[in-house]
């Protein structure tokens, strides 16, 4: 199985092996291929994947890429109760290093204590929602997007987030009509190969901790056992209902 990192690396090794000269350690064109053909091939690979290959860097001013890097846009959440953000500065930096062009709506991480300056410091650029969605190849959200936002996305784009597909059929129909591919993160299988895309486990862990805090706040007694000169308080009996490995 290949991904955006392994493919350019493998092709880089193949190109280097084919044109390396066995005499004097100098690079020269193989007698079986044309230099211009190799140059166009390597340039296309570097531009398509947005990653350096065979000495060609798509971020270089000397390399004219026929296509733009993949554009990613992260939008604000529209519900007042949602404090999470679809993109953190740390993740944005990794995406930029991988060749993505990352843009975001101003205030994206404000509720999660990530100011706009933290995103701009690593190379992400603020962009208004209408322009960002119209240009984006990939749009990121936490919850399902509004129908008006889907209608602003370009045909062929990809949307990723928690889509709640069984309850939000209107969003799915909007994706179909707009020609947008929707990826519902909560439907990702929790398999060994998909562990990096598992967005449920982390949220379930947080919900579990929060459940204990809420229960303790509502209970009319303390949780632990306490032995005092005035007597002993028995610990609270807790019945945990859950699913999964730690259920």
- Average pLDDT of the residues in 43-49: 58
Which segment of 42-46, 132-136, 156-160, 208-212 scores lowest on mean pLDDT?
42-46
Predicted confidence band of residue 3 (pLDDT cuts 50, 70, 90): very low
- Average pLDDT of the residues in 20-29: 43
pTM: 0.66
Predicted confidence band of residue 194 (pLDDT cuts 50, 70, 90): confident
CA dihedral 142, 132, 152, 84 (to 10 degrees): 10
Which range of 50-59, 194-203, 227-236, 238-247 scores highest in mean pLDDT? It is 227-236
d(CA 175, CA 183): 10
d(CA 169, CA 18): 52
pLDDT tops 50 at residue 89: yes
Q: Helix or strand or coil: residue 216? A: helix
pLDDT computed for residue 64 by the predictor: 54
């Amino acid at each position: 199985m290949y991904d955006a990192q392994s493919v350019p690396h493998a092709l880089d090794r193949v190109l280097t092996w084919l044109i390396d000269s066995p005499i004097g350690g100098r690079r020269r064109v193989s007698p079986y291929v044309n230099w211009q053909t190799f140059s166009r091939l390597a340039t296309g690979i570097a531009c398509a994947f947005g990653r350096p290959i065979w000495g060609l860097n798509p971020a270089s001013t000397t390399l004219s890429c026929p296509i733009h890097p993949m554009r990613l846009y992260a939008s604000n959440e529209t519900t007042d109760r949602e404090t999470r953000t679809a993109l953190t500065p740390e993740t944005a930096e990794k995406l930029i290093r991988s060749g993505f062009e990352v843009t975001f709506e101003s205030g994206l991480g404000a509720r999660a204590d990530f100011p706009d300056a933290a995103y701009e410091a690593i190379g992400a650029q603020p962009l208004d929602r209408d322009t960002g969605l119209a240009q984006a190849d990939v749009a990121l959200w936490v919850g399902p997007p509004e129908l008006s936002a889907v209608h602003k996305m370009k045909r062929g784009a990809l949307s990723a987030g928690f889509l709640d597909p069984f309850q939000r059929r209107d969003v799915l129909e909007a994706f179909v009509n707009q020609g947008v591919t929707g990826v519902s993160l909560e439907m990702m299988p929790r398999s060994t190969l998909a562990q990096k895309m598992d967005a449920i486990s982390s949220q379930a862990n947080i919900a579990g901790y929060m459940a204990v805090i809420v229960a303790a706040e509502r209970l009319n007694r303390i949780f632990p056992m306490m032995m005092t000169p005035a007597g002993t308080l028995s610990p609270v009996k807790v019945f945990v209902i859950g699913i999964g490995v730690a259920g």
